[in-house]
Structure 1
């Protein structure tokens, strides 16, 4: 029997593999529809991956975010991001990446009428809105005095805060999003009766469970996951250094080490133009 190495099921590289592989679009659709159905949004029927999982590309990448990008048959652009470490500016960051996804649809000369809805789904292992009771929040643009009036359906940002999802075993699972949350919180821990029940009645999560065990038994994938984790620790170290030694000096060192400009900008707070001028 293959030796299984431990892996956090919330590791971004695993989630990218799980939801971002061409052979797993059925799982991707199931997860997205679990999110959409809770808020009464139209469900996904067909979907196209815009950045399918590629082992070589990810191995060579130094991106700060390994998200899943897709477009469905209703021309909705859907972006899924996983975040484990708390980030006080995460709401702003999510809005920024929504804006990039929305604006990135147009090429020079395209009409604004060609824009389609952009949806961001953030699955987080920390709380960002402690004042809100539910673990799943969805934000849109509404009129201040008439919140029932939505300016445009083109902006939709979901936040799923796992720590707020207080599931007391399988009996607390009431819907498919509850089931996915239970999965991400418990996959990889010892097999118990609750997980067995969840898998028995849930084909999508049963497939996800098999994929997780295949991933953790694959030395190449696990080596890459561990390298990714180390890289993220290095980024965190650079963030602390940037506060001590000055933003521009930290940026120069990161340029020398091959970090992408977008990553350097996020860590140092410098604009991408300022970094290019160094």
Structure 2
């Protein structure tokens, strides 16, 4: 029977990767993303804001990110988003900066700052101009690519760009991307051999336990619904915004054709959608009465 829990819903994502008991899965995911040599791979992490199943997550806009520190002191912020939000790139930078600056208190030496790495997993396309699902951003000199500092590193995983089937998975990042895209359809009792190692099996069991725990299932469904509702609301607002933008452009054009004073941007912005539509209708009627073909 399929697990039926989508790990891209941030509540489930944090359950899988945001519990100290699941340190192995988080280390595996981070190592897969960072692609460091064997001697630089993460062996352990401390989760600084662990998953709390009984915590209330009523605000559909709240951020269920994961903050962690590895054995070398490097800081990590991992976030799952099912859709693109307004100013998402700026928000990633803001949370990176917050985690970076919070390392120091007054009087501390800047040399004590440790590299801080943000990982954004998004079930949408953030960079349509880039091929592949994994993108790494560092602070480099523009013409020669010389690294200014290793203190900042941003990774983005775009899930829709990953389409490999199970037999074609070649490395751990492939396996985690497949898990995130398809775990809801997998059966824990018939687990694929390609994901048979501990990190993925443990992640699958976490989703199964979530599915079988009534109160957690309810929180998951509420969070999932909230995120979907927010996405629907945002799309509706964008459609309304585009419609209002077209109405404003039509009003300006008709006023120029009729040689009327053009309504200011501020005045148009203050009008409701109904008022804009009424003004368009009035101007259209006036144009037709003047013998102007529209």
Give the structure-2-normalised TM-score: 0.72
Which residues in structure 2 correspond to 1:98-113 (within 5 Å)? 98-113=96-111
- Given the alignment of the two structures, is residue 174 of structure 1 paired with residue 170 of structure 2, yes or no? yes
Q: For the structure 1 residues 100 and 39, does the alpha-carbon distance in structure 2 shift closer, same or farther, using more than 3 Å as the test?
A: farther
Matches within 5 A, 1:85-164: 85-87=83-85, 89-147=87-145, 149-164=146-161
Q: What residue ranges of structure 1 are gaps of 5+ in the alignment?
A: 245-278
Q: Distance in 2 between matches of 1:67 and 1:83?
A: 10
Describe the shift of the 1:31–1:190 C-alpha distance in structure 2 as closer, same or farther (beyond 3 A).
closer
Shift of 1:124: 1.1
Partner of 1:212: helix, strand, or coil?
helix
Tell which structure's C-alpha radius of gyration is larger.
Answer: 2
Aligned partners of 2:218, 2:72: CA distance in 1, in Å? Answer: 38
Quote the RMSD (CA, aligned, Å): 2.9
For the residue of structure 2 that corresponds to 1:17, the secondary structure is helix
- The alpha-carbon distance between structure 1 residues 240 and 124, as it changes in their structure 2 partners (threshold 3 A), is closer
Equivalent residues of 2:2, 2:184 under 8 A apart: no
CA contact (8 A) 1:126 1:163 kept: yes
Matched pairs, number: 239
User: Could you tell me which residue of structure 2 aligns to residue 81 of structure 1?
Assistant: 79
For residue 183 of structure 2, what is the aligned residue in structure 1?
A: 187
Aligned to 2:290: none
Instruction: Measure the CA separation in 2 of the matches of 1:125 and 1:221.
Output: 22
Measure how far apart 1:58 and its partner are. 4.2
TM-score by length of 1: 0.76
Unmatched 5+ residue regions in structure 2? Answer: 241-294
Partners of 2:232 and 2:131 in 1: CA distance: 34
